[in-house]
Amino acid sequence: MIRFEDKVVIITGAGSGIGEATAKRFSQEGAIVVLAGRDTDKLHCVFSELSSEKALVIQTDVTDRESVKNMVDETVRHFGRIDILVNNAGLYAVGDLLNISEEEANAVLATNFNGVLNCSYFALPHLLKSKGCIVNNASISGLGGDWGGAHYCASKGAVVNLTRAMALDYGSQGVRVNAVCPGLVLTPMVARLDEETLESFDSRISLKRPGQPSEVAAAIAFLASEDASFINGVNLPVDGGLTASNGQPNFN
Ligand SMILES: NC(=O)c1ccc[n+]([C@@H]2O[C@H](COP(=O)([O-])OP(=O)(O)OC[C@H]3O[C@@H](n4cnc5c(N)ncnc54)[C@H](O)[C@@H]3O)[C@@H](O)[C@H]2O)c1
């Protein structure tokens, strides 16, 4: 499938995990891919696997408005347009409200929510011109609560509802805004989970396994493509069926 020939796509947090898989997926489908993130070593590693004329690394901290403005300006200077923004960069921090440092709490909210606001704010004028779209990487933690992850859940819940509100505001102007809500996906973000914890997820996931980054990338590409031309404001679970449950235990 080549659905994005010469479309210009910005992917934040493109140096690892779902962002890396998404960059590769868009590149395989013909897109010009801007790899944005803080760690240029990781970004250059991904870049080296893509076609060099159709990719660019831009060091970006999504929490910093100047840095995000530069990401957008540099993209337009190089490629003349922006067609798709994938707001993927994110952080996890463990801890309920009373058991998280102020620094970590602020970083989670600044990255996961303000980061999406910042990137959307600076990219939108260009997306309005190109009739492009935004795909946010939220989480099933934005659709319901987790134990011991209040700030993460709050940040992702904010992205879920921002997705709906922006879909309303910009749909009539030709810009669609959607989100994926992954469940457990094997990336560096979940490397801290031990075997026992990973196994305990299987009792909740109807497909009985965690997701792979490429499976989320495929859903992001779908939402960004013309195949999803009548889809606007959805938060699509990509979770192996975890949220199909109402939460009651399996006693069968
Ligand atoms: N892995 C999962 O189980 C899972 C589940 C639901 C949602 N998600 C979401 O998927 C997205 C990608 O996470 P991942 O699982 O691939 O983990 P990851 O840690 O591999 O990727 C996150 C990326 O974001 C980058 N990043 C962090 N702060 C940044 C900042 N201020 N500016 C720019 N880049 C920054 C990191 O360097 C990293 O490359 C995140 O938004 C995460 O919340 C992941």
Pocket test for ligand 1, best of 11, 18, 135 (most atoms within 8 A of CB): 18
Helix (H) / strand (E) containing 77: helix 65-79
Give the position, in ligand 1's atom list, of the atom nearest the Cα of 20. 16
Rg (alpha carbons) of the chain, rounded to whole number: 17
Phi, psi for residue 66 in degrees, rounded to 5: -65, -40
3-state secondary structure of 113: helix
Owner of token pair 């030709």 = 174
Burial of residue 70 (CB within 10 Å: 0-12, 13-18, 19+) is middle
Strands 55-59, 176-182: pairing kind: unpaired
Give the position, in ligand 1's atom list, of the atom nearest the Cα of 92. 43
Report the nearest-CA residue for atom 19 of ligand 1: 189
Pocket test for ligand 1, best of 109, 140, 187, 204 (most atoms within 8 A of CB): 187
CB distance 44 to 12 below 8 Å: no
Model pTM greater than 0.95? yes
| Å from CA of 190 to ligand 1 middle | 10
| Å from CA of 149 to ligand 1 middle | 15
Q: Which of 216, 212, 210, 223 is nearest to 184 (CA)?
A: 210
CB distance 43 to 57 below 8 Å: yes
Residue 87 predicted with pLDDT over 90? yes
| Å from CA of 179 to ligand 1 middle | 14
Report the nearest-CA residue for atom 29 of ligand 1: 89
CB distance 208 to 235 below 8 Å: no
Percent of the chain scoring above 90 in pLDDT: 96
Residue 61 predicted with pLDDT over 90? yes
152 belongs to the catalytic site:
yes
Q: What would the pLDDT profile of 148-202 be if each residue is shown by its tens digit? A: 999 999 999 999 999 999 999 999 999 999 999 999 999 999 999 999 999 999 8
